[in-house]
Each structure stands twice: as C-alpha cells, then as structure tokens.
Amino acid sequence: MPVLEVDNITKLYGESVAVDTLSFTIDQGETYGLLGPNGAGKTTAISMIVGVLDRDAGQVRVGGRPHSPADRRSKALIGYVPQDLALYHDISARENLRFFTKLYGMSRAAAAREIERVLEAVGLADRADDAVRTYSGGMARRLNIAIGLLHRPKLLILDEPTVGVDPQSRNAILASVRELAGEGVAILYTTHYMEEAERLCDRIGILDGGRLRAEGTRRELVGLVGEHDQVVFKVEGDPAHAVPVLEAAPGVGRVQRVEGEDGEVVAFVADARAAMTELMAAVAAGGVAVRSVEVREPDLEAVFLHLTGRALRD
C-alpha cells in the first residue's frame, strides 16, 4: 500500500488553475521528486497534500486513510519542511524543537530523546543552545528540516529545502534525505534544481503550469523523448579505427566520431552503465588503446524542454 496517494487534486484561485488534477503515489522508502520551475504549482500542491490548504477537488490518502486539513491523525504521519524558514529566530534550536515536540504531543522523555537525535542527524548538536539568529543560512535550513523529522514521520515532505544553501550544507541535506529513504521513510521532494532531482529521486514528476506533464524514473523520462546515454572514448592513434569496433559491440545504437576533438569517439547506448563492461571488452579485443572514458547521460533539462517547449530555469 502506498504511503501517499494523491488523486486528481485541484486548486483554483478565481479563474486561475494553480494545480490541475494532479495524481501520483509514493511507496515506503521511495523518494519522489516534483520537478518544475518557480510558479509551476509545487508549493500549492505540497500545501494541499500536507493539509494546510483546502483542495477544490481530488483526494489525498496518507497511510491508507483519507487526509484533510482537519484530520489530525493523518497529520501525525507527516513531517513537513516548508520552503520558508518557519521557525523562531530569537530562541535556540533546542527551544524551537521542544516547542514542536509539544505540538506533536510527544512525552517529555520522548521529546528529549528525539531532540538529541535530530540535532545529531542535522549536525547542530554543538550549536543547539545558540539563538537561531546567529546561525548561517545552511544551519537554519538544517534546523528547518530537523523540525520535520522530530516525530519520525512515515511521510516526509520537503519543499525546496536547499534554496539559498551553500554547497556543503546542500550535500549534507541531500545525504540526510537519502539516509531517511533508506530507513523506509517515503519522501516527497520538490525542487527546481534538476541535478537534485536526478541525484536523489527514485521517481520524478515534471510539473508545469499546475499539471503533471510526465512521471517516471529518470531513465523512463529520458526514454520518453528518445534520448540515449553517450559513452565518450578518447583513444590513442586514429579514432576511425575505433568506430567499427564500437559499432560491432552489443547494445550500441550508433557511433559518431567527434569532429575537431582529438581522438574522441561517441557510442550511443540505451543504458551506459549496463553496456559499459561489454564496450570495454570490445575495445580491448579490437586493439583500441583508450586514454579515457566518460559517460554522458541525457538530463532532465532536455526532457523538460521537450515536454514544455521551454527551459527549466525560464
């Protein structure tokens, strides 16, 4: 049974449709990314799913039970990390966390235990008693996430959690999310950073203008637009010698010698990682001396462009 079932949810603001019949599901331990540019309707969709915004149509089920803004039992299953730093800046991280443990109805002992756990998890244990206003942007973001993890939710919803964060903190946040998914938490992750969605998500939904344009694994999405992985060989000597060798290798669609590049030959394959062993065996058997190999996978930017006719960052 999916942890989250979103069925045709719709939000209207007057004549404007902010979210249009959005549907998807997330299983336990799965990370689902909602990818879309700013204004695509990601935050509106998230707000309806979390239960802080009324829907105009559609259903949401969390842990198998119907979910609505008034349903406190299903809210207890959700951890929500909003895009804004929704915390008090004039008190410490520990005080912020303690406040939210009370809202989750946790006992004093459980609260103390979970506060220490999440502080460790986000790397803020040594600054736990400092006022949040003294934190860097990245530290405040990590605290923002820690609040969502306090009650060990079954479903964690993160709305653009890495906006305005330095690379180090961003990596730490992504690592934490992967770890949580590994522990079985279902994760809904919205972002407009293509690389994050590719690195993190098992499945991705591409949202634009409030509508889900496509959904699937990165490979499935890329497949939708007929793109292939590229394995780029830099070879010693005449690259023309390498072309027939690679063309004969199993799984290779076509081979292209790159003009202007010194000794560079590109093999187009459906799945570079799967084909790599056989490709390397083929070039070795064909007597091609390889200086380096690089895998270039088609990215979601190309998919988004194909689906919407514009770039993701427009």
Partner 1 sequence: MKALAFALLGLRRFFRERTNLFFVVLMPFLMIFMMGLMFGGTSQVRLGVSGATGEPLAARLVASLGADDDVEVVRVGSRDDLVSRVERGELHAGLAIPAGYDTTLRAGGRVTLQQITRPGDIAGLTAGALIASVVPKEAAPIKAAGFAAAQGAGTFDETYRAALGSAVPGLDVKVTTTGEAVMPHGAAGFGIWAPPLLLLYTFMTALIAGVGTVENRRLGVTRRAYSTPTSAGSIVLGETLGKLVITLAQGLTVMLGSALLFGVDWGSPPGAAALVVAFILVGAGAATLLGSLMRTEAQAVSVAVILGLGLGGLGGTAVPLESFSDTMRTVAHVTPHAWAYDAFTRLVRHGAGLADILPTVALLTAAAIALFTLGAWHMHRALTR
29 in contact with partner 1 (CB under 8 A): no
φ, ψ of residue 179 in degrees (nearest 5): -65, -40
Instruction: Give strand pairing partners of 35.
Output: 191, 206
Please report where in the chains the tokens 């407009």 appear, as a residue: 192
Residue 160 makes CB contacts below 8 A (sequence gap 6+) with: 42, 43, 83, 190, 191, 192
Q: How far is CA 239 from CA 272, 281, 293, in A?
A: 20, 17, 14
| The only residue of 41, 51, 263, 298 in contact with partner 1, by rule CB under 8 A | 51
Residue 126 makes CB contacts below 8 A (sequence gap 6+) with: none
4 in contact with partner 1 (CB under 8 A): no
The torsion angle over the Cα atoms of residues 221, 223, 227 and 232, rounded to 10 degrees, is 100
| The only residue of 17, 76, 125, 293 in contact with partner 1, by rule CB under 8 A | 76
Site for partner 1 in 134-173 (CB under 8 A): 147
| The only residue of 53, 110, 225, 290 in contact with partner 1, by rule CB under 8 A | 53
Positive or negative torsion for Cα 240, 245, 246, 248: positive
82 in contact with partner 1 (CB under 8 A): yes
Smaller CB distance to partner 1: residue 69 or 216?
Answer: 69
Site for partner 1 in 231-250 (CB under 8 A): none
| The only residue of 8, 38, 64, 86 in contact with partner 1, by rule CB under 8 A | 86
Question: Smallest distance, Å, CB 73 to partner 1?
Answer: 7
Q: How far is CA 80 from CA 2, 9, 28, 100, 152, in A?
A: 18, 19, 16, 12, 11
# residues contacting partner 1 (CB under 8 A) = 30
Give the range of 97-105, 199-207, 217-225, 286-294 binding partner 1 by CB under 8 A.
Answer: 97-105
Question: Smallest distance, Å, CB 30 to partner 1?
Answer: 21
Smaller CB distance to partner 1: residue 48 or 235?
Answer: 48
Smaller CB distance to partner 1: residue 86 or 274?
Answer: 86
216, 204 contact by CB (below 8 A): yes
Residues that bind partner 1 (CB under 8 A): 50-54, 69-70, 72-73, 75-76, 78, 80, 82, 84-91, 95, 99-100, 102-105, 147
